[in-house]
Structure 1
Amino acid sequence: MLAGALAVTMLAPAAANAAPRTWVSVIAHGLDNPRGVTIGYDGAVVLAEAGRGGRSDKCRESPEGGKVCLGLSGAITAVSTGRRDAWTQRRIVSGLPSLAGRDGASAVGPHDVSPYGDGEYITALGLGGTPQSRFDLGLLGLMLGQTVIVKSDRNGRSTRSFGDPAAYEGRRDPDRQGVDSNPYSVLGTRDGAVAVDAGGNSLVAIDRRSAMSTVAVFPNRMVAGPSGGRVAMQAVPTSVVRGPDGAFYVGQLTGAPFPVGGARVYRVVPGQRPTVFARGFTNIVDIAFDRQGRLLVLELAKNGLASGDQTGALIRVDRRGNRTELAPGRLTAPGGLAVGGDGAVYVTNRSTSAGRGELLRIVM
């Protein structure tokens, strides 16, 4: 009943409310392209750093233009509070593959992280291409496009492959638009995990034996083109979370022409077609639900990627569909969010910058 009521009230955007008073603090800095965030087993805030690439001879042409080179600068970082509420940060897993240009910006690497079980985490390693494009990058480059289990404890650190969404995209191409894979979000489940493939416009399931299946495909939509007329816009899903009703919820970045207000949140029940849960957002990079069951939407660029403006936005949607922007003007190209047990919202900021990324704590 809750899901049905929410779906009805959220289909169309309501007027934005005045921003409540918020306190924003930087609790971690110096991060390399920080992306997805989760709350760890010990209450620490755990985030994925896509890294800054490397200076190796393992390079390829980027789909966006220019040369990107492989390095082992990707990491999983934990940020925790100790005495006198002082925050400390440490990379609990390092040496993960990362692709970037010479300036290290807009890296492809660990894009998201989620608890998996028994002190482990699962991370989604981006790719941005076909599975064959990995072979020019050597053995370590083959990890790109995969979901990987990582663990760090007193016995050391371990990394093992769990699923290969890129290979699955190569075999199945669920959206039938040509092979293109970029795993961007992952969520551990009791049955294994689900992962969003932004390149493949799909949500895939990975069971505990690493077998994969398609949960949902997100359709193209016809939108106004930059030069007039109508063009087909790909969905480009970027986030997946479990909702209060147990269903999966997926946010979309959208593809070109990146229209303002063109992004949606989909509700996904396995075995059924995705339905629109909320609409009227711009370039969604992550979503979450707070402790009251309200939807939180993180926009990478509130004025649209085509504008060149990197101002982001965090929007809260109540059960009547009313929208409130939280901490307006404080976000620059944000990359991920999570809600802590204390109700605070944790957001990675400057997610496309090497060495300048931050983790923010937002309290209302």
Structure 2
Amino acid sequence: MRRRTTTAATLLALTCLAPAAPATATTGEHDPAPVVVATGLDNPRQLGWDRDGASLLVAEAGSGGDTCAGEGPQRQCAGLTGAVGLVHDPGARTGGAPHRVVTGLASIAAPDGSFAVGSDGAAATELPGIYAAAMTYVPPEAFPGVDLPGGFARQLGSVVLGGHGYSYPVVDLAAAEARLNPDGAQVESNPYGILVVPRTATTPTHALVADAAANTVWRVGIGGDLRPRVSVFATYPTPPDDDTTPEFVPTSLARDADGNVYVGGLGSEQPGAAQVVKYSAGGRELHRWTGFTGVTGVAVAGDGTLYVSQLFGAGAPGGGEDGEPVAPNDDVPGPGPGAPGDVVRVAPSGERTSVPVPFPAGLAVDEEGAVYVSAWSVSDADGAPAGPAGPATPGGQIWRLGS
């Protein structure tokens, strides 16, 4: 079965189907309106926390570059515009760009810089000032006869470590997929989310990487010879020659205070097919939430409340009476007509409610319960001017939602 992952071409096609008015829902009248805490981001994706727990970490997939190939809607441009950024004291901010701590990461985007892929995931390591980025893979044939920027190809399909003015790939997950192919489907890799798991008394530091195209969550550890060891934490096979069953397509990762791991899946972008799975630290499935649409971010609050980004939005499944989505609400900061997307709140009781967020991606929750989300996650820093396709849209942002 051919996986449907979050690529520029797919997103462009689906955006043409966006509704003329926000198809969203609200968590309730008592919740404050979202606040824009950071602006000027290039295709912001995964969110997390730096080692100090006070600075918000964001992966920026970049805005492509000047090396282009293809024609018309298929034209893609490559460059080293991806980055990892920090937003200091996000609970008190109301705008401004992040501080980029890693730059020069590979990026592929539409000619206007939108719908980029590249450094889609980022996480802090246990080394001060060193960050890990999950880099998508694009096959060489996507840019035939074109000289790509120096170091570009080596980053693709890898985990890259960066900081203090340098970056370098440390493990090739595309090669691991070619060697192991855990789900038994076609060989394809698209590392999209990353989670660094700190050492415990029984487990060394390691990283989990959600590989959307490999349909697998990889576990990356460092052996005694300092070489990365790649194994399978979870994989999601589908029946051979089955072209109808939605695939899981893991995109996002989170971890709770007990060390349990949460994996969000895109569900082949089919309405209601996306899921979130909770695992023990060792990879044993503990719980599964279903009925989502296009999951691109997950986060867990201290009280066990689960937050889920739905890239194109579908309300809160089961959030209203008789399982219907709760009522829509237009209380959204900034321009946003026609922009789909929402963040679903799943209470410990199982009740689901949602709040509208245009094209949401990564999620993070602070100790006070405030929720942060990447909004306009398919826009570069400049956004798009008004034109025949629709109204003007802002550049990539980070929003703060009420708890």
Instruction: State the TM-score, normalizing by the size of structure 2.
Output: 0.73
Deviation at 1:341, TM superposition (A): 3.0
Per-residue displacement from partner, 1:257-290 (whole Å, max 9, x unpaired)? x332211111234766646521111111011101
**Percent of residue pairs bearing the same amino acid type:** 33
Task: Give 1:314's aligned residue.
Answer: 343
Deviation at 1:337, TM superposition (A): 0.9
**Structure 1 position 338 matched with structure 2 position 364:** yes
Deviation at 1:24, TM superposition (A): 1.4
Task: Give 1:34's aligned residue.
Answer: 44
What does residue range 75-94 of structure 1 map to in structure 2 within 5 Å? 75-81=83-89, 88=96, 89-94=98-103
CA distance in 1: counterparts of 2:236 and 2:256, whole angstroms: 18
Q: Aligned partner of 1:238: which letter?
A: T
Conserved 8 A contact 2:154-2:169: no
Conserved 8 A contact 2:35-2:94: no
CA distance in 1: counterparts of 2:310 and 2:380, whole angstroms: 20
Check 1:133–1:245 CA distance in 2 against 1; reply closer, same or farther (3 A cut). Answer: farther
Task: Give 1:100's aligned residue.
Answer: 109
CA distance in 2: counterparts of 1:27 and 1:354, whole angstroms: 16
Normalized per residue, the structure richer in strand is 1
Deviation at 1:219, TM superposition (A): 3.2
**Structure 1 position 361 matched with structure 2 position 361:** no
Conserved 8 A contact 2:312-2:359: yes
What does residue range 1-364 of structure 1 map to in structure 2 within 5 Å? 18=28, 20-42=30-52, 43-56=54-67, 59=68, 66-81=74-89, 88=96, 89-119=98-128, 120-127=130-137, 129=138, 137=148, 139-152=151-164, 157-189=165-197, 190=199, 191-208=205-222, 209-220=227-238, 231-255=244-268, 258-269=269-280, 274=285, 276-303=287-314, 310-325=339-354, 328-329=355-356, 331-355=357-381, 356-364=395-403
Residue 166 of structure 1 aligns to a residue whose secondary structure is helix
Conserved 8 A contact 2:57-2:86: yes
Task: Give 2:331's aligned residue.
Answer: none
CA distance in 1: counterparts of 2:90 and 2:214, whole angstroms: 42
Conserved 8 A contact 1:346-1:361: yes
Instruction: State the TM-score, normalizing by the size of structure 1.
Output: 0.81
CA distance in 1: counterparts of 2:339 and 2:209, whole angstroms: 26
Conserved 8 A contact 2:36-2:94: no
CA distance in 2: counterparts of 1:272 and 1:47, whole angstroms: 26
Check 1:70–1:85 CA distance in 2 against 1; reply closer, same or farther (3 A cut). Answer: closer
Deviation at 1:18, TM superposition (A): 4.1
Residue 291 of structure 1 aligns to a residue whose secondary structure is coil
CA distance in 1: counterparts of 2:277 and 2:367, whole angstroms: 25
Structure 2, unaligned stretches of length 5 or more?
A: 1-25, 200-204, 316-337, 382-394
CA distance in 2: counterparts of 1:276 and 1:312, whole angstroms: 25
Residue 354 of structure 1 aligns to a residue whose secondary structure is coil
Of 212-221 and 311-320, deviating more is: 212-221
Of 268-277 and 291-300, deviating more is: 268-277
CA distance in 1: counterparts of 2:139 and 2:280, whole angstroms: 28
Conserved 8 A contact 1:81-1:87: no
Root-mean-square deviation (CA, aligned residues, Å) is 3.0
Residue 34 of structure 2 aligns to a residue whose secondary structure is strand
Check 1:318–1:161 CA distance in 2 against 1; reply closer, same or farther (3 A cut). Answer: same
Task: Give 2:390's aligned residue.
Answer: none
Deviation at 1:17, TM superposition (A): 6.7
CA distance in 1: counterparts of 2:43 and 2:92, whole angstroms: 29
CA distance in 1: counterparts of 2:31 and 2:270, whole angstroms: 30
Check 1:241–1:313 CA distance in 2 against 1; reply closer, same or farther (3 A cut). Answer: same
State how many pairs are aligned.
327
Task: Give 2:388's aligned residue.
Answer: none
